[in-house]
Chain A
Amino acid sequence: MIEVSQLTKLYGSFAAVSDLSFTVQPGQLLGLVGPNGAGKTTCLRCLAGIIPLTRGNIRLAGCDLATDSIAAKRQLAFFADEPRLFEYLTVAQHLAFVARIYGVKDADARAPRLLEELELSEKKDSLPNELSRGMKQKVALACGLIHSPKVILFDEPLTGLDPLAIRRTKETIRQLARDGASVIISSHLLHLLEEICTHILVVKRGILAAFGSLQDVRDQFARGDSGVDLEEVFMRIATQGDTPPPPSSDPAAPPPLT
């Protein structure tokens, strides 16, 4: 489970993220969306323990990231948009390295199975420069999954992948959630999020603009219109405050963001 409470990150006087609170239960897939510069990456980097919070609290699988960061990170896998691999290590050596870092006791049994599942067995003695981008993405996935993380963060997971790899990655992400992991995906591909996410979190200018199940978020911003998809929701949130909102016939419509 991911529990975020009043997450705030300040750069001097500028608030990149302000008072963000949400929870992702095991098995849930949360799509993190927002316009460029809204604070999505900052939020993800805070969750991954890359940058410290200014205020607030993050708990990953019950472990506080600030006070017990090692235990929290043991439950975490963070997948950056660009696979980060070591140039001199083969695929198998990558897994051995990560297994030692995470102390995976049954790594000797898990690693071949994982390589088999991700169709990397034949490439286990290859260096990253011999692999295609999709393959590298798979190696990063294998490294991230070898310790069976309970919290998984993806930053633009489909960047640069071909259609076949996209389909397989989507299925892998779904399977991870089915296996009980709490998953967050940050992406601008709204149709992807709409397809695989159970929940949506929209941030705008560092503050929470919408959060809930996919249907709840759609309903919240439908303003009486039918068939409103995530893209329309995003457009309405993104333009809200920049231009005067259209008069709504729905008295339950949310107030404009400030």
Chain B
Amino acid sequence: MNTWSVIQALFFLQTQSFWNRLRSRIHRLRQPKYLIGAVVGLAYLYVYIGRFVLGGVFFPRSAPAGFPFAQGFTLDLRNLMEGMAATGVFFFVLGAWFFSGPRSSLAFSETELAHLLPAPISRRTLIRYKLASSQTGLLISSLILWFFTGRTFAGGHAVLRIAGWWVVLAALSLHSLGASFVVQRITERGLSSWLRRTLTSLVGFAVVGTVLWWGRVALLVQGGIPSSPEGWRDFAQHIFTSGPAPWLLWPFRLLVRPWLAGSPTEFALAIGPALFVLAILFVWVDRSDVSFEEASLERARRWADRIANARTRHQRVGMPKPIVRPAAFLLRPEGNPALALAWKHLIELRSRPRNYAIAIGVLVLAAIGIRICPNAEILESLRSSAALLPLGIAAILVVLGVMEITARVRQDLRMVDHYKTLPLTGRQFVAGEFLGGLGSTLCRQLVCFLGVALFAIAGQPLPVHWPILLGVSVALLTIGPGLIMLLAMLPVAAALLFPAWVHSTKEGPGPGLEATGQRVILAVGQLITLSVSLIPVALVAASMFWLGQFVSPWIAFLLAGAGGAAVLYTEIGIAIVFLGKAYDAIDVSLEQ
């Protein structure tokens, strides 16, 4: 089979896969909930990205006044940029030789390997197939990089900028592949990894050392270390434009030059040499005759195993191997089944004790620091900043608590077909998920309160009278969990109403444009939900506080907390009933 036939087959595979994926997503839009998400997502993309991208492609884009390099690059600046970019490419190239493993592998999927390895295709054609199939990804990466860097390095034509990025990325990709082939060959001939890494490091040190030596000479001539940023910039320009650096970085400069071209003419002049370097790299890789098949099979199998684990064993891709953890409490066989879910989640969370260890470690160190610090000024500074630490962590934990609950629900929804066979009502399922996520957050929040206690032990007088602190603490502990649950309501509702997004690790098209729209709707909905639901809570809490202050400030805080909590938890109870109905209404057969 010749290369052209393989490329035709590849083109067929990619276009058909794309259209079939698109068709599945369009098919899903027949459900109004996904259609609305798609419309909002499209509008969002147009407003925030589309206008910008289309404007850049069809018209030369100029940056708003005040943007760095809004007027394009001066010659000096371009030389500096070219030198810096070439240095970056040089280190990337060096890294490929240093970090490359002893066996080279091409990243094929298991399906590709199953079809391609037994097929009458030569090794060289397989490499070409891989290189051709990677171009789509490189082009998308170029587009994304242009989009993000284009805002800063404005000016020039968008298409030329994207092409410039593609040249750099394609060269790096080709080089990494070629380097891994060579590393495998020299390893097979007996060169050990540490010797190869030592030699690579020596090359790196030699190049950097030569440039630094030249820099030192330049500094002596210049009359000392520059004292201003402009002085440093001039010095860097001098380094990159004279002495050994321009010669040592010459091939890398050729590669980045098209990206920095300020006009089509400059690009036309720069692209020839860059393509010449690319051609050399291609010939180098193409002529490599290294047996990568076994390593590729192993690599594909490892990845497929991880995906399979995520699908069948209730585990997320990339999660560490679990370890046995005792249950947080004894689960009696009788009682509300929702507690079983929370119990299960707590066991899972106990398998990740590092969070607690780090938090406790930081707090203990802070307390010890305050205790033993000999300098009064430093001590004062430490106290003022450390006093905020537990509060800061508590605030972060609210956000983490929301994420924890949402993650629990999304994780369990991957096994919704299993849960649906259990005698669990939707309400019990949702309540169990909330309890599990909340339990872990409360444990962490207790660590924060431990921090406050440590300050007291360390002799730091607390800024408020302790009964008031007690009142505030009780109020926060009462309302805090409710606040976390309230914030988690909408993400959980989204997961229950749009389970197809959660199924992204399963076979199927995964979340599409409608997912973006849903996130926009979610963010707006989150604000509205919070505002609407917190108004009655705040009103009741304020009223209770007003009443309580006639007795005592700490009683006022306690009453405010109790009143607010009563309203908050009533709202949450109602929300759980509705979310439970959403769970009951999930039709697994429709969510693909």
Instruction: Give A contacts to B, CB under 8 Å.
Output: 9, 11, 42, 45, 48-52, 69-71, 73-74, 76, 78, 80, 82, 84-90, 93, 96-97, 99-108, 125-129
Contact = CB atoms under 8 A, between A and B. Distances in A.
A93 B344 CA distance: 8
B423 A101 contact: yes
A129 B333 contact: no
B322 A85 contact: no
Given A85-B314, A87-B322, A103-B333, A70 B347 contact: no
By DSSP majority rule, is chain B's interface helix, strand, loop, or mixed? loop
A5 B335 CA distance: 34
Contacts of A108: 333
Contact of B423 (A74, A82, A128): A74
A125 B324 contact: yes
A88 B423 contact: no
Contact of B313 (A85, A100, A104, A126): A85
Pairs A-B, 3 closest by C-beta atoms: A107-B333, A100-B340, A73-B423
A51 B421 contact: no
A45 B323 CA distance: 33
A50 B421 contact: yes
B203 interface: no
10 contacts: A45-B589, A50-B588, A84-B418, A85-B314, A88-B322, A100-B332, A101-B340, A103-B334, A105-B334, A129-B321
Contacts of A80: 417-418
A107 to B, nearest CB: 4
Given A105-B334, A125-B324, A129-B321, A97 B421 contact: no
Given A51-B588, A84-B415, A100-B333, A89 B421 contact: no
Contacts of A87: 309, 313-315, 322
- Which of the four size classes fits the interface of chain B? 35 or more
Interface string B322-338: 11110100011111010
A52 B587 contact: yes
A122 to B, nearest CB: 14
Given A45-B589, A82-B312, 10 more contacts: A9-B589, A45-B588, A50-B420, A51-B589, A80-B417, A97-B343, A100-B333, A101-B422, A102-B423, A125-B324
A129 B588 contact: no
B348 interface: yes
Nearest to A144: B421
Contacts, number: 104
B492 to A, nearest CB: 20
B423 A70 contact: yes
A129 B589 contact: no
A46 to B, nearest CB: 9
A69 B335 CA distance: 19
B134 interface: no
B421 A11 contact: no
A74 B422 CA distance: 8
B217 interface: no
B424 interface: yes
A28 B344 CA distance: 36
B425 interface: yes
B534 to A, nearest CB: 34
A48 B421 contact: yes
Contacts of B417: 45, 50, 80
Contact of B333 (A82, A96, A126): A96
A101 B421 CA distance: 11
B589 A11 contact: yes
B334 A97 contact: no
Nearest to B347: A88
B327 A93 contact: yes
A100 B335 contact: yes
B340 A76 contact: no
Contact of A73 (B335, B422, B589): B422
Which of A11, A82, A88, A107 has the most C-beta atoms of chain B within 10 angstroms of its own C-beta? A88
Contacts of A104: 333
A9 B587 CA distance: 12
A97 B314 CA distance: 15
Contacts of A100: 331-335, 337, 339-340, 343
B337 A101 contact: yes
B552 interface: no
Contacts of B313: 85-87, 128-129
Contacts of A9: 589
A105 B347 contact: no
B28 to A, nearest CB: 13
Nearest to B330: A96
Contacts of B422: 73, 101-102
A127 B343 contact: no
Nearest to A51: B589
A95 B335 CA distance: 15
A70 B425 contact: yes
B152 interface: no
B209 to A, nearest CB: 49
B351 interface: yes
Nearest to B340: A100
Which of B331, B332, B333, B590 has the most C-beta atoms of chain A within 10 angstroms of its own C-beta? B333
A78 B421 contact: yes
A129 B340 contact: no
Nearest to A12: B30
Contact of B344 (A48, A69, A97): A97
B589 A101 contact: no
Contacts of B312: 82, 84
